[in-house]
Each structure stands twice: as C-alpha cells, then as structure tokens.
C-alpha cells in the first residue's frame, strides 16, 4: 500500500480514521483525508486526479440526512448512489483498493433475527435506497471492492446521539426516545481499528457487517448513556416509532450479524457498552468545557 485515502474525512467515521493513522505514517505511508469541499465524490475527473496506483481508499463520504433525503432524493442518490460507483471506477482505473461504508438501512427492518450479508435487501426509505444503489454501483465498477455495513455509529462528540442526549439532559430537558427500534451501537474508534484490520487481511469477503457486540433498543441505549453520565434517567420518556412524524421510515430491527466478519478470521468489535463508557466521558468533558 502506498497511501491511505479517506473520503468524507470531516464526518464521524472519516475523522476517526484520519485521527488514528499514526501506524501508517510511522511506516512511511502517506495518509490523505478529504472532506466534501476538498473532494467531491460525484466529480469523476477529481477522483481520477486524486486516486493513485496502490492506494487504499476508504469511502466514508455520504449524504446522511435520513429524513431530508425524502425531499432531496436527487442529492441523496447523487452522493450515496452515483458517487460510490465513481470512486470505485477511479480505483479500478488506477489499480487501487476500495473499502466502501454502507448501512443497515438497506434492509426493511422486518426480520426478528440479525441481518446476514446474504439477507434480501429491501430498503424502505430514500436514504436506504440510495445507499443500496451505492453498493451496487461500487460493486459493478470494481467487483473486488469491499463493502462494510455498520449501524448506530457514536463517539460522544459533536452532535452525535450520546453527545446531544447528555447535553439536553444536563440542562434538565425531557427527551422522548423510541423503544421499538433496535440495533448494535458501534463506537467509532472500535470500527476504525476493525477497518485497519480489514485493510491488512489478505483476502476478506467482499461484503461484511461490522458493528459493536450485543443489541439494544434506542431507549435502553439512551438510559445507559444517561446513567453512565450520572444524570437523571427519569428525564427520558419512552415512546413508540408511531408517535413520531418522521419523514423517513426507520428499520425497527437494524441488528447486523457479524458472522461474516468473524468467519474470515477478523476480531469481532467490542460490546457496545465498552465503547459507551469512553464516549460518555467525551460527552461530559464537552459540556463542562
């Protein structure tokens, strides 16, 4: 590998990757992180000018407005659907490797069991449909691309779920949280380490799931956050998805099976509670600073 190239480097996962690349730098390998303003993944010419022979490209660039996508479908499909195919084509042209990040939103959420990599996809939102289109475009342009689906990423910083929840509850606000959506929360630093392991794997599967261990409802996840922060968990109000008027449909069950990850010899990610302690410390530091 000559260089590590990260698209979407200003996002939650992309910034986590670029912060953790000291092992690559010590090995004399260059690390390049590009936010959307520095590299537009819908610009094929810019991608071809950026990607080089032997690069490993981790595509974290995405349109992440799940509800907004319902009214901005063209924008969502351009970034999530077309963009990954252009990244993959640039990699194919230059002889580079690609890791593309996707999501459990490609499933409809109706299963009572964790979703396997071979489970049938049936996204029910524009966001999910655009992400599935991106998987298909990347695979068509570069059959050897590796696609990694994950879900409920968190770090305890900026505006992610734990940080926002701690901030609101520290002000004494009541927060309604749904009880009927379940997934496996995934601490960003754990996923970053897992992706670096994947880069080093000689021949991993082309489609993998990587999430934190265990599964939990969003409400129980919220209670764990608030209790770890030493705040009043009674500020949380359990509700149902039907109580919200969200524009986009959320998958009720977004638990991804990590069997594909484990079966190829990769180390499973730690349990979601392990990362939560670190994320809450970060969230509490932010509100105190």
Give the residue among 67, 76, 73, 79 at the shortest CA–CA distance from 8: 79
Cβ partners under 8 Å of residue 172, min gap 6: 232, 235
Phi, psi at residue 269, to the nearest 5°?
-70, 150
Residue 166, SS3 per DSSP: helix
Q: What is the DSSP code string of 91-134?
A: HHHHT-EEEEEEEGGGS-S--SSPBPTTSPP---SHHHHHHHHH
Alpha-carbon gap, residue 272 to 152, rounded angstroms: 10
User: Measured between alpha carbons, how far is 172 from 104 in angstroms, rounded to an integer?
Assistant: 33
Any catalytic annotation for residue 187? no
Integer angstrom CA distances of residue 171 from 18, 222, 231: 33, 16, 10
CA distances in angstroms from 226 to 60, 130, 151, 212, 220, listed in the order given: 29, 33, 20, 19, 10
Candidates 63, 105, 127, 219; catalytic one: 127
Q: Kindly give, in sequence order, each residue whose CB lies less than 8 Å from that of residue 289, ignoring residues fewer than 6 positions away.
A: none
Catalytic residues: 127
């Amino acid at each position: 590998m000559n260089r590590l190239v990260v698209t979407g480097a200003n996002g939650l996962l992309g910034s986590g990757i670029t912060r953790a690349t000291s092992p690559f730098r010590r090995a004399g390998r260059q690390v390049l992180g590009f936010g959307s303003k520095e590299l537009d993944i819908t610009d094929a010419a810019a991608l071809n000018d950026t990607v080089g022979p032997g690069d490993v490209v981790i595509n974290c660039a995405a349109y992440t407005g799940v509800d907004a996508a319902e009214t901005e479908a063209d924008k969502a499909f351009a970034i999530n659907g077309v963009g990954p195919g252009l990244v993959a084509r640039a990699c194919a042209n230059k002889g580079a490797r690609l890791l593309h990040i996707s999501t459990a939103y490609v499933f409809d959420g109706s299963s009572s069991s964790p979703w396997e990599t071979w489970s049938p996809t049936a996204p029910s939102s524009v966001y999910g449909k655009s992400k599935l289109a991106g998987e298909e475009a990347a695979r068509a342009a570069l059959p050897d691309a590796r696609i990694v689906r994950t879900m409920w990423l968190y770090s305890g910083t900026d505006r992610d779920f734990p940080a926002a929840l701690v901030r609101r509850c520290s002000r004494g606000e009541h927060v309604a949280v749904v009880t009927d959506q379940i997934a496996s929360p995934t601490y960003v630093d754990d996923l970053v380490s897992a992706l670096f392991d994947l880069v080093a794997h000689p021949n991993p599967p082309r489609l993998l799931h990587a999430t934190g261990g265990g599964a939990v409802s969003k409400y129980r996840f919220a209670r764990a956050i608030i209790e770890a922060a030493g705040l009043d968990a009674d500020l949380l109000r359990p509700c149902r998805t039907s109580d919200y008027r969200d524009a986009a449909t959320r998958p009720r069950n977004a638990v991804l099976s990590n069997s594909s990850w484990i079966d190829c010899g990769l180390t499973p990610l730690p349990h979601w509670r392990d990362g939560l302690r670190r994320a809450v410390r970060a969230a509490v530091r932010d509100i105190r600073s």
